[in-house]
Structure 1
Amino acid sequence: MTAPSEPAVHVQPDERAERVDVLVVGAGLAGLHAATLLARARHRVVLAERRPTLTGTVRTTGIFVRRTLEDFDLPEEHLGPPIRRMMLYPPGLTGPVELVSSRDEYRVGDMGPLYVDAAREAEGAGVDLRLATRFRGRRGGVFHLEGPGGEVRIRARFVVGADGARSRVARELGLSRNTRLLMGAEEVFPDPDPGVEPTFHCVVDPRVAPGYLAWVLRDGEHVHVGTAGHATRFPRGLYSALRDFGARAPGLEGVPRPASVEKRAGPIPVGGVLPRIAAPEGLLVGDAAGAVSPLTAGGLDPCLRLSGHAAEVLDEALRTGRADALERYDGQALRARFRKRLLLRRGLDAVRTPEMASAALVALRTPPGRALARRILFSDGSFPLP
C-alpha cells in the first residue's frame, strides 16, 4: 500500500485582498472538520495551516472514545485495535485497580494519515487548503497571512480559530483565552508484541504527573509512554519526569525503548469551554475554544462535535446575512454542563503527595469508587452540544 500523498500547497497569485466566506486558521481535526462542512454547504472556504506538512509535529495521543467511533466515519485503516482494559496504579505501582469493559472503549488513531485523509476530503468538498501559511493578524478588516509566496491578504466574512490552545485568532477577536493549561509529553514507538492484550495503563503519582496522570498505552501496534501535569509543579521538569517514568512504567516489562522514537508535546487546556467563544467576526473551535474534558483531557470528541455545531451556526449566518446567528454559539451555556468535571478537576489538582494518590486509589477499589471510575472512563456521554 502506498503512503498517502500530501495535499498540494496553494500560493496566492497576487497581492490584492481576496474575498471569501470563511477563513479557517489551523488544520487539525477541528479546523478540517469545520472547513469541510462549510464547503459542503457551498461556502467559499480558505483553510490556512502554518505547518508545511500535515504528517509532522503531531501533538495528540490520538485516543478516540467509543462515542466518537460510533458517531463519526473514521477510516478503519488508520485506527489501532480496540481497547477494553484499563489499569489504574498508585505511586508504588502495586495493587492496581483493573477495569474491563464489555465494549470497545478506545482506539488510537494514526494521526498523520488521519489528517491527510481529512485534508483530501476537505479539498474534495472545495476547501482551498494552504499549507506553510501563517496567520499574522487583522488590520483594517483584512486578515493577513504569510505564505510560501509572501504576504496574503484575505477579506473574509467570518474567521474560525482552530489554531490551538494559545489561539492568536482568539486574541485578534477579543475572545476568551485559555489560562488553565497542563503540559504533556509523550514518546511513541512500534509495539514489539502484536499479540499483547490492548491495555491502557494509568498512574496517579504527583511526582511524575502533578495534577494529571502518567500513562502507557499498548495496543499491539504502537506503544505510547507519556505524562502531563502543571508545568510549574514538575520538580525537575516535564522531560525529566517522562524519562523517570519511562524507566519504571507498568506494562513495559521486557520492552526495549528504541534508539529513535516519535516525540510529542504540547499544552492541554483543562479549564472547560471558554465563556466567550464567538464574536460578530467569527468564532473558536477545538482547543482554542477550550473544548477539552477538564478531567480526562480528552479533546478529539469535543473538537469534532463543537466544529459541527460551529459549521451549522456559520452556515445560518452566511445564508441569512445575520451575524447575530453567532449568538447561539454560546460558551457560557456549554460551560455550565462541565460543572461536575470541573469539580473533579479541582480534586485531581489537590492530589499533591504520593500518600494522597495512594488513598485515592484505595477509594477506587470500593464499589462506589469503581462505579465512579467506570462512569468517567467508560462513559456513554459525549460533548454537551445544545
Structure 2
Amino acid sequence: MLTGRLPTTDLLVVGAGLAGLHTATELARRGHDVVLAERRHHLDGTVRTTGIFVRRTLEDFDLPPEHLGPPIRRMVLYPPSHHRPVVLDSAHDEYRVGDMAPLYVTQARAAAAAGVRILLGTRYAGRDGAEHVLHGPDGPARLRARFVVGADGARSAVARELGLDRNTELLIGAEEVYPVPRRAVVPAFHCVVDPRLAPGYLAWVLDDGEHVHVGVAGYADRFPRGMRQALREFSASAPGLAGVPGLPGGTGPDGGARPGDVAGPDGGARPGATTSPGQVERRGGPIPVGGLLRRIAGPHGLLVGDAAGAVSPLTAGGLDPCLRLSEHAVDVLDEALRTGRRDALRRYDGAALRARFRGRLTLRRGLSMVRTPAAAAAGVALLRTPPGRAAARRILFGSGSFPGP
C-alpha cells in the first residue's frame, strides 16, 4: 500500500521507459537503494516509440534477442511522388525493431531482481520541502530521496521541479503497427519526404517480415488537417505496402485498394476481414528534436532519455542516445552517492555534450525548412548523386553514436 511516508531511499527514478529502467537497474547493481515510480499501471500497455535499435546499440548493449525483430539492411528514400526512390543497402545488419511492450516487462524484471522497488500506477507530483510527493493507487505518499532522476519523457515534470531545461522543439508522431503472417521478404525501411504528410520530418513504412509499421511525424502546428488525417492519407497510398497480406489502406500494384479492404465512412479504405482491429497497435507521442538540453543536472538530481533531449535532432532516433546518456548518469550518480558530494553532478554537463551536435542541429534546421513538395523532391534528387548517396549512407548507416562525456 502506497500511503503515508515511505522509507528514505538513495535514488528516486521517475519513469519506466528504457532510460529509467536502465538507470535504476545499473545503480541497484552497484549497491544503491532505488525506487522507480511509473504512472502506467502496466508496462506492456501504451508504447510511444517505434522501437528501432541501431547497429551500435545492438553491438554494445545486452538486449533480449527474443524481443527483437529480424535485421534490416535496406533503406529506401522517396520524394512526394514516390517515383525514382533512392535505395541504400548496407553490408551490415543496421536496424532491428524491438517488441517494446514485452521488452519493458523483461527489463523491469531485471530491475526488480537487482533490488529496485517498482511502484506502478504512481504519479510524481513534485517536491514538498525535502520530500517527494507520489500519488499511487491508494493515495498520496511522501518519500525522501538523496537524488531524483527524471526519466519521465519529453515534457518532464521532474525537469520543472529541479529547475532544469525543458524541451521546446517537439515533433509529434503517430504510428500503427500490424502483425502480418511471417513471410519471405527483404526487410526494408521506407521513408517518404513529403511536407504535406510529415511537415519537418518523414512518413514511413517499416516492414521486417513480421510486423509492418506505418507512421508519420512532424511539427504539430503544420499539419493542415491534423496528424491522424495525415496518417490515414499516407496509409492509403504508402509505398512498401503492395503485396503485404491483410493490411488496411495502401494500394496494390495496380493502384487500387488491397484485397479485403472496404470503404470507410469518409470514402477511404479501412481494415477488411483479413485484419482484426484488435490486432492493430497504435502508438504516438511527442519527440524532442532540439538536441540535448544544456542544463540536465543540478544538486538534487538529473535528467535522462527524452527528458534530457537525448534524441538525434535529425533522425529523431532516441533509443541509442537514451542508453548511452543513462550510462553516464549512472557513473555520475554512483560517485555522488558514494562520496556524498552533490557537486559530482556537475560532470553531467549537457552543454558540453550538445556542442558535438552542431552538424545534426544544422541539418535539423534544414529539414524543418522543407515546406513544399518541390523542395522535398529536389532534396531527394540530390541524394541520387554520388556525394548525396555517400552523405545519406554516413547518416543512416554510420557507426557514430551519442558522444561520450
Find the residue that maps to 1:18 and give its secondary structure. coil
Q: Which residue of 2 aligns with 1:122?
A: 111
Match of 1:263 in 2: 282
1:244 alignment partner AA = E
- Could you tell me which amino acid in structure 2 is paired with residue 74 of structure 1? L
Q: Which residue among 341, 346, 354 is the counterpart of 2:373?
A: 354
Q: Distance in 1 between matches of 2:372 and 2:181?
A: 34
* Aligned counterparts of 1:37 and 1:285: Cα–Cα separation in 2: 14
Deviation of 1:89 after TM superposition, in Å, equals 0.2
Q: Deviations over 1:323-345 (max 9, x none)?
A: 00000000000100110000000
Separation in structure 2 between the aligned mates of residue 365 and residue 83 of structure 1, nearest angstrom: 21
Partner of 1:18: 7
1:133 maps onto 2:122 in alignment: yes
CA offset at residue 254 of structure 1? 3.4
CA distance in 1, matches of 2:182, 2:196: 30
Residue 211 (structure 2) pairs with residue 222 (structure 1): yes
Q: How far apart are residue 193 of structure 1 and its match?
A: 5.0
Distance in 2, matches of 1:218 and 1:182, equals 23
Matched, 1:305 2:294: no
The answer to whether the aligner puts 1:28 opposite 2:17 as a matched pair is yes
Q: Which residue does 2:305 correspond to in 1?
A: 286
Task: Encode CA deviations 1:158-202: one digit per residue, 9 max, x unaligned.
Answer: 000000000000000010000000000000011235211100000
1:336 is aligned to 355
Structure 2 unmatched ranges of 5 or more: 249-274
CA distance in 1 between partners of 2:84 and 2:72 (Å): 21
From 306, 309, 314, the equivalent of 1:295 is 314
The answer on 1:275 being equivalent to 2:294 is yes
Given that residues 334 and 384 in structure 1 are in contact (C-alpha distance below 8 angstroms), is that contact kept between their aligned partners in structure 2? yes
Distance 2:78 2:276 in 1: 27
The reply on whether 1:55 has 2:74 as its aligned counterpart is no
1:259 positional shift:
4.3
Amino acid in the other structure paired with 2:313:
P
TM-score, normalization: structure 2?
0.92
Q: In the alignment, what sits opposite 1:375?
A: 394
Return the letter of the residue paired with 1:233: R
**Cα deviation 1:49-100 (Å, max 9, x = unaligned):** 0000000110000000000000001011110000000100000000000000
Partner of 1:95: 84
* SS of the residue 2:166 aligns to: coil
Other-structure match for 1:207: 196
Between 306-315 and 250-259, the greater mean CA deviation after superposition:
250-259
- Partner residue in 2 for 1:8: none
Gaps of 5+ in 1: 1-10
Alpha-carbon separation, structure 2, partners of 1:195 and 1:288: 39
1:205-235 Cα offsets, whole Å, 9 max, x none, are 0000000000000001100000000000011
What code does the residue aligned with 1:290 have?
G
Structure 2 equivalent of residue 7 of structure 1: none
Query: Does the CA contact (< 8 Å) of 1:184 and 1:229 recur in 2?
Result: yes
Residue pair 1:191, 1:218 contacting (<8 A) in 2 also? no
Matched, 1:241 2:230: yes
SS in 2 for 1:182: strand
| 1:113 counterpart (102, 115, 129) | 102
Cα deviation digits, residues 19-54 of structure 1 (max 9, x gap):
000000000000000000110111100000000000
CA distance in 2, matches of 1:194, 1:107: 17
TM superposition shift of 1:18: 2.4
| Count of residue correspondences | 375
Look up the match of 1:172: 161
Letter in 2 for 1:143: H
> What root-mean-square deviation, in Å, do the aligned CA atoms of Structure 1 and Structure 2 show?
0.8
Distance 1:363 1:140 in 2: 57
**Pair 1:78-2:67 in alignment:** yes
The 10-residue stretch of structure 1 (15-24 or 75-84) with the greater mean CA deviation from structure 2:
15-24
Structure 1 counterpart of 2:257: none
Deviations 1:218-263 (A, max 9, x none): 0011000000000000110100000000000001013322341111
Maintained 8 Å contact 1:181/1:271? yes
Provide Cα deviations, 1:120-151, integer angstroms capped at 9, x if missing partner.
10000000011001101101110000112211
Alpha-carbon distance in 2 for matches of 1:185, 1:192:
23
Q: Classify the secondary structure of the residue corresponding to 1:244.
A: helix
TM-score by length of 1: 0.96
Distance 1:372 1:51 in 2: 41
Q: CA deviation at 1:385?
A: 1.5
Q: Secondary structure at the match of 1:236?
A: coil
1:196 aligns with 2:185: yes
User: Could you tell me whether the CA contact under 8 Å between 1:191 and 1:219 is conserved in 2?
Assistant: no
Q: Quote the Cα distance in structure 1 between the aligned partners of 2:391 and 2:153.
A: 31
Amino acid at match of 1:285: V
